[in-house]
Structure 1
Amino acid sequence: MPVLLGGTGDTIANNTRDSTEIPTAPQLSSRMKHIKEEMTKNHLQFVRFEATDLHGVSRSKSIPAHFFQEKVIHGVCMPRGYLELIPNPKDKEVDHIRATCFNSDIVLMPELSTFRVLPWAERTARVICDTFTVTGEPLLTSPRHIAKRQLSRLQDSGFSLFSAFIYDFCIFGVPEIINSKTISLPASALLNDHDQPFIQELVDGLYHTGANVESFSSSTRPGQMEICFLPEFGISSADNAFTFRTAVKEVARKYNYITSFFIETGFCNSGILSHSLWDVDGKKNMFCSSSGIEQLTTTGKKWLAGLLKHSAALSCLMAPAASCRRRYFKESKDLKGSVPTTWAYNDNSCAFNIKCHGEKGARIENKLGSATANPYLVLAATVAAGLDGLQRNDGVLAAPQDSTDLHPSKLSEIPLKLEDALMALEEDQCLRQALGETFIRYFVAMKKYELETEETDAERNKFLEYFI
C-alpha cells in the first residue's frame, strides 16, 4: 500500500519537491491535531478526497468525517477509469496498459497541507490527493504527479517557479432542459457593479481555501468574467486553479447560474499561466535585470527560447480539443495549417507576452492555454519546455524592439488542427522524456479516441455538460 505523502506547504522546497518524503510521527501528529480541531470547530460531517482527471476536472469520494484518520493512513480507493477517461482500451491502442490494469482500482492518498473547509459546501471539507496503484507506485498518468516531478527537476537546477493562473469564464442562467444531446440556455447573465454577490461569495470562499484572488472583472462579452490569482511558489498555483474549477461551478448553482469555460459561440475562454523564474530560495526574480532595464535577462530569454521551441507540442496540452484551438484561427488570414508563435513585450495579442512593469517584476504570460486545459499539465509542460531552453544554447527569437547578442532561433509554428498538434507532441523528444512515455502515449490515445467518437455539431454540448 502507498504511504502518506509529506509536504506542509510552509516552504518553497515543500511546494516544489515531489513530496515523496514520509512525514515523521510528530509532524503527522501535529497536522492531524490541527485538522481535528478544524473538524470539531466547523462541525464537519464529510471530507472529500479529490484528485484531478486528465481534463483537470475534480473526481472525488466523500467519506464521513469520523473515518478521516483511518483513510489518511490507508487511502481511498477509486476506479482507475474515473481518472484516465478511456472507456474501453482495445486493439492494444495503449499496449503498455493491460485492460485488467485499466479496470483496477487506484488509491487516493491525501496531502494534508491541502485540507480546507469548503465555505460553499455545508459541513464539508476537502483534501487534494495524489494517486497510486494498489501496489504503491505513483500513477504515471497523474497530472499532479507529473507537475510535482517537473518542479523537482527545476529545484534540482537551482530555481523555483512563481506562478498564477488567469481564467476567463462565462455565467449563464440555469437551463430548463438538459438531455444527452442538447443544452438549452437562456441569454447569458450580465453582471454589473450592482449584481455581484455570486462573485463576492466565490472570491471570499476561495480565500478561505487558500486560493488568493488578486482581482476579478467583467470581460468583453455579457456574462464573461476574468479572475486573476495571486502568484505562489510551486504546485500551489495549480492547486488553486484546480480548486477554482470546482468552486465556481458549485457557488454558481447557489445563485441559479451555470458557469462555463465556453462562450456562447462555442469557443473556449482563455486560461493563462503567468510565471517567473526565481532562485531556489525565492528571493530573486531571475527574469529581472539588476540594471533595472525593462527586458528579460539572459536566463529569461533562454527560458522563453524553450517555450518557443516547444510551442507546437505545448499547444496540444494547453488547447486539448478542436473547439479550444479555434482561438488560434483569429491569427490566421488564410487556410494554412499553422500560425507563427508570437512573443513581445507588453503585447496581449501574443502567445507569449512578457510583462516587465509593476511590483512583481518581469514575468511571462503563456497564453497558449484554454480554460479547459488541465492546470497541472499546463504547469508541467511549461516547466519542461523552459528547462530545455535553459540547458541549450539555441538563442531566442528577437522582437523588433529587442536588441540581444543571442542568435535567433528557428521560427516556431502552432498547428491549427488537434491532429497535427498530437503529432507534434509525439515527435517532441524533450516533452516525451520530461512528462513520461506512459503519459504521452496514454494522452495521445485518449485524444485520438475523442476525435474518432466525436459527434458532429455536438462537441460544444458535450463539453458544456462535462465542464459545467
Structure 2
Amino acid sequence: MNNEGDLLQEDSRDEDNETEGSRMRKLRRTRKKVTKSHISSTAIEEMDMPNSKDDTGDSTQIPKVPQVSSRMKHIKQEMAKNHLQFVRFEATDLHGVSRSKSIPAHFFQEKVAQGVLMPRGYLESIPNPKGGSDVDHLRATCFHSDIVLRPELSTFRALPWAARTARVICEPVTVTGEPVRTSPRHLARRQLRRLRGAGFSLLSAFLYDFCLFGLPEAMHPKTVSFPAPLLLGDHHQPFLQELVVGLDGAGATVESFSSSTRPGQVELCLRPAFGIGAADNAFTLRAGVQEVARKHNYITSFFVETGLCNSGILSHSLWDVGGKNNLFCTGTGTCTSTCTSTRTEPTQLLSTTGRRWLAGLLQHSAALSCLLAPAGSCRKRYSKERQDPKDRVPATWGYNDNSCAFNVKCHGERGARVENNLGSATANPYLVLAATVAAGLDGLQGSGDALPGPEGDSPGLGPAPPPPRIPLKLEDALAALEEDACLPTGPRRHVHSVFCGHEET
C-alpha cells in the first residue's frame, strides 16, 4: 500500500496537463486513499499537536492531510538520519513513572494509526485490596482491561542515551476511543484548556533534586550503595555532561545543574515552556536520569530519603494567550524596573492577576500538598526548621525567600513568577501542573486579592484571610483533598487509588 507521500507524488506528475476541476477531483481521490490507509480520525487529531505556546495540547481543528503528511515525512527523515530501529510508546503511570512498549521502527506508521495496546493495570498500579472476595467485579474488570496508547507526534524524539531508539509520548484511551479519565496528562491538558478559555497561557518549568549513588564493580546480596561524594569533580563530569546533552536532544533543555546541599544530591533546572511542554520535559528528565545513570554505573533516586529532601519545584507565571506579556507584572511588558526597586512592598510586586492567583494557591495549599508531597517522608521537610513541631504548619509566601511555600521572584529577564515549593521530586509532574492551575484559576475567579504579608499583615490591601495551614500527616492531607471542591476530581481519585487501594471505575 502506498503512503500518503507517494500518493501525492503520483497526483502531481501530469499537473500541467490537467484542468482545475480535474486537479480538484484528483485531490479528493487522494484524500480518500489516505483515509483508507488506516489513519483513523482520532489519530489524525493528535498527529500535528503544537508543543510550545499551545496550553491545551488539543487541536481545535483536525489537521489537513498535507499537515499529517508533513509530520510523518519529518519523522521518517529523522528515522533514516539516525538509523532508528525501535520506537517507544511512552505514557506516565499514577506515580509519574514511564511505562512503555517498544516496536520495530518499520511498524511505526501502522501503530500511529492503530495505537499500541497495554493493560490498564500498568498505568494504574495500586495496592491489592484486602480480602479478594470483597473486590467489586466491575472495578476489577475495568482495572484489568486493555487501553490504547495514542501517540502525540510532536513529541517524537530520538533518544541520545538509547542506541537507535526513539520515543513518543502517548495518552491512553479506551478501546472505544474515549480518554482514560485517570490519565495524569489528560487531566493536565484539561486544566490548561480551562486556563486558555479564560484568556491565559502558562509558562512554567520544573526544578528537580535527585540522589546519585555509586556502585562497586561486583554486586552481591549484601552490597550497599553509597552517595557519590563530589558530583562536580572530574570523575563525575562525563555522567552530568552526557545527561544534560542527552536531555537537550530529547527536547528537555536544562538551563543549569549543580551539586545540591548534600553529598550525592544533584539539582537540575529545566528551561521554561508553555503549556503541557513543561510537564512533558519533566517526564523526559525523570526517565532520562535513570537510564544515563545506569550507563555510568550509578543508581539514582528521586525518592526522599530519611533526612534528605529531594525537591520538585514548579516555577510558573501567567501570560496572555499569545505569550507576549507576563500578566504577573504590575506594568506592561517586563517588570524588571519595578521588581528591582527596594522600596516596593512585596505585595505590590505582583499585579492584581498575580495576587489573585497566589491567593488561590494559598487557599488550597492543604489539598495541594497531598498531590505535591504524596509520601509520608516528603512531608517532614514542611516542619524541618520548626522548633515546636505540630500537626499543621502555616502556608507562607514571600518575596525572594526560598523557605516559603510560595516564593515570588521578579529578578531575571522573564519577570515576575511564583515558585510552588510544596512539591517533592516524587510527585507526578502532570498532577502538579493540573492541581496548580486548578487552584490558581479558583483564585482568579474570586473577588478579592488580599494577601497576608510575609509577616502576617496585609499592607494596603484590606483585611487578609488567616493564613491556611498545611497538615503534616498524609492522612490529614488526604482528608483535605477529599473536602476540596476546587481541585479536579481526577487527581483526588488518583491519590485515593494510590494510597487507599480504591480503584477507578
Choose from 426, 443, 454 the match for 2:495. Answer: 443
Q: Is the 8 A contact 1:177 1:184 kept in 2?
A: no
Q: What's the secondary structure of 1:273's corresponding residue?
A: strand
* Cα distance change on mapping 1:158 and 1:59 into 2, 3 Å: same
Quote the offset at 1:207 in angstroms.
Answer: 0.8
Quote the offset at 1:334 in angstroms.
Answer: 2.8
Q: Is the 8 A contact 2:99 2:122 kept in 1?
A: yes
> Between Structure 1 and Structure 2, whose CA radius of gyration is higher?
2
Query: In structure 1, how many angstroms separate the alpha carbons of the residues matched to 2:271 and 2:214?
Result: 29
Q: Deviations over 1:416-449 (max 9, x none)?
A: 0110000000000111xxx22x552343132123
Choose from 126, 129, 132 the match for 1:86. Answer: 126
One-letter amino acid of the counterpart of residue 392, structure 2: S
Query: In structure 1, how many angstroms separate the alpha carbons of the residues matched to 2:125 and 2:51?
Result: 34
Quote the offset at 1:95 in angstroms.
Answer: 6.8
Quote the offset at 1:333 in angstroms.
Answer: 2.7
* Cα distance change on mapping 1:358 and 1:112 into 2, 3 Å: same
Match of 1:74 in 2: 114
Match of 1:327 in 2: 381
Query: In structure 2, how many angstroms separate the alpha carbons of the residues matched to 1:369 and 1:104?
Result: 32
Query: In the alignment, does 2:328 pair up with 1:287?
Result: yes
One-letter amino acid of the counterpart of residue 399, structure 2: Y
Please give the residue correspondences for 1:65-464 in structure 2 after superposition, counting only pairs within 5 Å.
65-88=105-128, 98-174=139-215, 184-195=224-235, 196-262=237-303, 265=306, 267-290=308-331, 292-294=337-339, 295-400=349-454, 403-431=459-487, 435-436=488-489, 438-449=490-501
Quote the offset at 1:86 in angstroms.
Answer: 1.9
Choose from 36, 52, 76 the match for 1:36. Answer: 76
Q: Is the 8 A contact 2:431 2:491 kept in 1?
A: no
Q: What's the secondary structure of 1:16's corresponding residue?
A: coil
Q: Which runs of 5+ in 2 are unaligned?
A: 1-39, 340-348
Query: In structure 1, how many angstroms separate the alpha carbons of the residues matched to 2:359 and 2:56?
Result: 23
Query: In structure 2, how many angstroms separate the alpha carbons of the residues matched to 1:420 and 1:94?
Result: 26
Q: Is the 8 A contact 1:198 1:252 kept in 2?
A: yes
Q: Is the 8 A contact 2:227 2:264 kept in 1?
A: no
One-letter amino acid of the counterpart of residue 50, structure 1: E
Query: In structure 2, how many angstroms separate the alpha carbons of the residues matched to 1:178 and 1:68?
Result: 40
Q: What's the secondary structure of 2:359's corresponding residue?
A: helix
One-letter amino acid of the counterpart of residue 398, structure 1: P
Match of 2:19 in 1: none
Choose from 13, 38, 42 the match for 1:3. Answer: 42
Q: Is the 8 A contact 1:50 1:127 kept in 2?
A: yes
Q: Deviations over 1:214-244 (max 9, x none)?
A: 1111111112111111111000000000000
Q: Is the 8 A contact 2:127 2:498 kept in 1?
A: no
Scaled by the length of structure 2, the TM-score of the pair is 0.83
Q: Deviations over 1:101-143 (max 9, x none)?
A: 1100111000000000000000000000011011111000000
One-letter amino acid of the counterpart of residue 64, structure 1: P
Query: In the alignment, does 2:109 pair up with 1:57?
Result: no
One-letter amino acid of the counterpart of residue 74, structure 1: Q
Quote the offset at 1:356 in angstroms.
Answer: 1.0
Q: Deviations over 1:64-122 (max 9, x none)?
A: 00000000000001010111112545789997962111100111000000000000000
* Cα distance change on mapping 1:425 and 1:254 into 2, 3 Å: same
Instruction: Give the RMSD, CA atoms, in angstroms.
Output: 2.3
Identical-pair percentage:
66
Scaled by the length of structure 1, the TM-score of the pair is 0.89
Q: Is the 8 A contact 2:127 2:501 kept in 1?
A: no
One-letter amino acid of the counterpart of residue 441, structure 1: R
Q: Which runs of 5+ in 1 are unaligned?
A: 451-468
Quote the offset at 1:327 in angstroms.
Answer: 1.3
